[in-house]
């Protein structure tokens, strides 16, 4: 076997890991009814692929090959182990244990897609948000505990404990491994969307650290959202979130200057925005806005679409954006949304009106300690020529911001306003 | 099926000052609850209301006897139901039905030894 063939197999296995992990694991969990055992069997199947595919060739449908291999291993493990050695109770499912055909299906397309039950189990409301996020990365994306820990800036033992505790709760409290009933589904999908959105925003603007975009988290969240869209093509909220992620990520390449400095929307080179992502996102927004009431993601995506379709910052339809924020505050009342609306009011009606709208939020307890409020005030004050107050506001924003790139931006603005320079 | 305890935590002060009408509504709500549970494939195995925490006595470390509940909280354990449910989703559905107008409930799986 040549080095080229070996690397082709390694690439095929890596690709299958990326695309098929959740599918293979979800199917294997139905056999083992135990997350840990299923994960081990799936890992073994991927390891087997690395050697087997060198001799037998890369299968036409790697996902089916891996699923069959993982399920066979699972059956062997269960047979060997026996029930008495198990320390955690089995997962509760809907009683539709896979039949013999499914277990050996090798070339048929007949393997049922269990990814929806896996992701709603990861994001069950009885688990706290940090556990939902960790389980989603671990079980849906096949990330190692170390990788998940790095993504969220916690130590590996802390993350391992969090994942173990969550798996234990799923088994002991009997969180069921099944697709929720039609009346429960919307709320359960909302929880999944909240997790995917959090993954994206964590990657998009890392809360601390040197790198503005943690690419992997962003790409994983977009892939998972695409997967969910495939599983639930008629859920408008899913279309809304996918639109929001695509339209936001379309600006990725233009968000920082070559020196790493943060570029604001008005400074970004719009010719370098990802047109394909924008076209797809805008079509999804239209679909998502048909829901009554539209989801918060659909409205946020609609705002992003106004920016994406505007030829320049100066041409931005700020009145449309203020109107969309108005609807958004009704669907999803949040002080941060109110803050964004106030900033948009400033662009639509001038800095004095914007400043008044911002100052109306000054006593909002949830915005205390939120760096974007003083940063936005500083900007309007600067435009109004109230430089002493603008300096104070930039200094306050600096105290409240941890991200290095954002800090550099604020510090730069503050330097521009120092008295000796004018 | 598995057993879950639904622990009802409520603000006792609200009950101390509740009118007879409100108390009547609470009693009715608990009677209705018992009827609704059975319709959801969940079995009600038992349940009780507790006297207020002013009647509680705590024993720490096997010897030290003190007046009052083990932990002082605004919303105190005031009653419970023991149910038999197929899974957590069914137990939580019953938890949502459970009357607790001055607080809320906690759903805990009962440990089994085998």
Q: How far apart are CA B102 and CA A91, in angstroms?
A: 34
Residue A34, domain member (yes or no): yes
Contact B89/A at CB under 8 A: yes
CA atoms within 13 A on the CB side of B56: 15
What pLDDT score does A108 carry? 44
CATH assignment of the domain containing A395: 1.25.40.10
Instruction: Please identify, among A84, A113, A142, the residue that sits at the C-terminal boundary of a domain.
Output: A113
Q: Which tens digits make up the pLDDT trace of A203-212?
A: 886 654 546 4
Helix (H, G, I), strand (E, B) or coil at A93: strand
Residues 6+ apart with CB under 8 A from A52: none
CATH assignment of the domain containing B100: 3.30.70.1060
Q: Which tens digits make up the pLDDT trace of A228-271?
A: 999 999 999 999 999 999 999 999 889 888 877 778 888 999 99
Residue of B89, B107, B109 to mutate for A, most A C-beta atoms under 10 A: B89
Instruction: Please identify, among A113, A136, A161, the residue that sits at the C-terminal boundary of a domain.
Output: A113
Residue A258, domain member (yes or no): no
Lowest mean pLDDT among A199-213, A278-292, A302-316, A317-331: A199-213
Q: How far apart are CA A399 and CA B71, in angstroms?
A: 39
Look at chain A and report how many structural domains it folds into. Answer: 2
| Length of chain B (residues) | 114
Residue A151, domain member (yes or no): no
> What range defines the domain where residue B40 resides?
2-109
- Is B109 in contact with A173 (Cβ distance < 8 A)? yes
- Per CB-CB distance under 8 Å, the chain B contacts of A126 are 88, 92
Alpha-carbon distances of A310 from A39, A144, A303, A314, A321, rounded to whole Å? 47, 41, 11, 9, 12
ipTM here: 0.88
| Length of chain A (residues) | 422
Residue A166, domain member (yes or no): no
- Is B92 in contact with A126 (Cβ distance < 8 A)? yes
- Is A126 in contact with B109 (Cβ distance < 8 A)? no
Residue B114, domain member (yes or no): no
Alpha-carbon distances of A96 from A32, A72, A83, rounded to whole Å? 13, 18, 19
- Per CB-CB distance under 8 Å, the chain A contacts of B114 are none
What does the buried/exposed string (b/e) look like for A104-136 if buried means 16 or more CB atoms within 10 Å of the residue's CB? ebeeeeebeebbbbbbbbbbbbbbeeebbbbbb
- Which residues share a beta bridge with A262? A256
- Per CB-CB distance under 8 Å, the chain A contacts of B113 are none
- Per CB-CB distance under 8 Å, the chain A contacts of B2 are 174
Q: Which tens digits make up the pLDDT trace of A118-147?
A: 999 999 999 999 999 999 999 999 999 988
What the block records as the tokens of A118 is: 């896996």
The pTM assigned to this predicted structure is 0.87
- Per CB-CB distance under 8 Å, the chain A contacts of B109 are 172-174
Residue B11, domain member (yes or no): yes
Instruction: Please identify, among A113, A144, A178, the residue that sits at the C-terminal boundary of a domain.
Output: A113
Q: How far apart are CA B2 and CA B81, in angstroms?
A: 14
Look at chain B and report how many structural domains it folds into. Answer: 1
Q: How far apart are CA A52 and CA B30, in angstroms?
A: 62
SS3 letters across chain B: CEEEEEEEEEEHHHHHCCCHHHHHHHHHHHHHHHHHHHCCCCEEEEEEECCCHHHCEEEECCCEEEECCCCCCCEEEEEEEEEEECCHHHHHHHHHHCCCCCEEEEEEECCCCC
> What range defines the domain where residue A405 resides?
324-422
CA distance, residue B72 to nearest chain A CA (Å): 26
Q: Give backbone dihedrals phi and psi of A183, rounded to 5 degrees, phi first.
A: -80, -25
Q: Which tens digits make up the pLDDT trace of A161-211?
A: 999 999 999 999 999 999 999 989 999 999 999 999 999 988 886 654 546
pLDDT band of residue A309 (cuts 50, 70, 90) is very high
Helix (H, G, I), strand (E, B) or coil at A262: strand
pLDDT per residue, tens digit, chain B (114 aa), is: 899 999 999 999 999 999 999 999 999 999 999 989 988 889 999 999 999 999 999 999 988 999 999 999 999 999 999 999 999 999 999 999 999 999 999 999 999 887
- Is A173 in contact with B92 (Cβ distance < 8 A)? no
Q: Which residue of B has its CA nearest to A183?
A: B93
pLDDT band of residue A150 (cuts 50, 70, 90) is confident
Contact B84/A at CB under 8 A: no
Q: How far apart are CA A69 and CA A28, in angstroms?
A: 10
What pLDDT score does A421 carry? 46
What pLDDT score does A197 carry? 96
């Amino acid at each position: 076997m040549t080095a080229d063939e070996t690397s082709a197999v390694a690439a095929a296995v890596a690709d299958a890991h990326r695309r098929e992990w959740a599918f293979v694991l979800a199917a294997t969990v139905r056999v083992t009814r135990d997350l840990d055992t299923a994960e081990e069997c799936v890992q073994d199947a991927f390891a087997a692929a690395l050697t087997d595919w060198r001799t037998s060739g890369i299968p036409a449908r790697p996902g089916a090959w891996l699923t069959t291999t993982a399920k066979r291993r699972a059956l062997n493990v269960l047979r060997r182990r026996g029930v008495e050695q198990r320390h955690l109770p089995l997962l509760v499912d809907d009683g539709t244990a896979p039949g013999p055909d499914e277990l050996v299906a090798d070339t048929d397309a007949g393997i049922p897609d269990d990814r929806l039950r896996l992701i709603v189990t990861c994001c069950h409301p009885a688990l706290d948000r940090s556990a939902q996020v960790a389980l989603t990365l671990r079980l849906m994306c096949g990330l190692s505990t170390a990788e998940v820990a790095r993504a969220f800036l916690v130590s590996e033992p802390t993350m391992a404990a969090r994942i173990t505790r969550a798996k234990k709760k799923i088994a002991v409290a009997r969180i069921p491994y099944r697709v929720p009933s039609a009346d429960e589904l919307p709320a359960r999908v909302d929880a999944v969307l909240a997790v995917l959105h959090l993954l994206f925003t964590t990657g998009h603007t890392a809360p601390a650290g040197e790198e503005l975009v943690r690419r992997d988290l962003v790409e994983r969240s977009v892939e998972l959202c695409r997967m969910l869209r495939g599983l639930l093509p008629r859920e408008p909220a899913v279309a809304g979130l996918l639109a929001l992620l695509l339209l936001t990520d379309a600006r990725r390449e233009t968000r920082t200057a070559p020196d790493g400095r943060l570029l604001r929307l008005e400074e970004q080179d719009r010719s370098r925005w990802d047109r394909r992502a924008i076209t797809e996102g805008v079509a999804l927004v239209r679909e998502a806005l048909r829901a009554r009431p539209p989801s918060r993601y659909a409205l946020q995506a609609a705002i992003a679409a106004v920016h994406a379709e505007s030829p320049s910052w100066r041409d931005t339809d700020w009145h449309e954006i203020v109107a969309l924020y108005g609807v958004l505050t009704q669907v999803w009342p949040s002080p941060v949304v109110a803050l964004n609306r106030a900033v948009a009011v400033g662009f639509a009606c001038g800095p004095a009106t914007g400043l008044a709208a911002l100052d109306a939020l000054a006593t909002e307890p949830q915005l205390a300690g939120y760096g974007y409020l003083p940063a936005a005030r500083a900007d309007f004050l600067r435009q109004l020529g109230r430089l002493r107050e603008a300096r104070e506001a930039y200094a306050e924003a600096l105290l409240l911001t941890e991200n290095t790139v954002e800090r550099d931006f604020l510090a730069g603005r503050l330097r521009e306003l120092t008295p000796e320079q004018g | 099926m598995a057993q879950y305890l639904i622990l009802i935590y409520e603000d006792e002060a609200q009950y101390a000052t509740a009118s007879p009408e409100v108390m009547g509504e609470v009693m009715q709500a608990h009677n209705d609850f018992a009827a609704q549970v059975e319709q959801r494939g969940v079995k009600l195995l038992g349940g009780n209301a507790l006297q207020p925490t002013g009647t509680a006595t705590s024993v720490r470390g096997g010897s030290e006897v003190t007046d009052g509940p083990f932990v002082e909280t605004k919303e105190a354990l005031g009653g419970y139901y023991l149910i038999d449910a197929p899974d957590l989703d069914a137990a939580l559905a019953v938890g949502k039905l459970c009357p607790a107008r001055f607080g809320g409930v906690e759903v805990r799986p009962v440990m089994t030894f085998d």
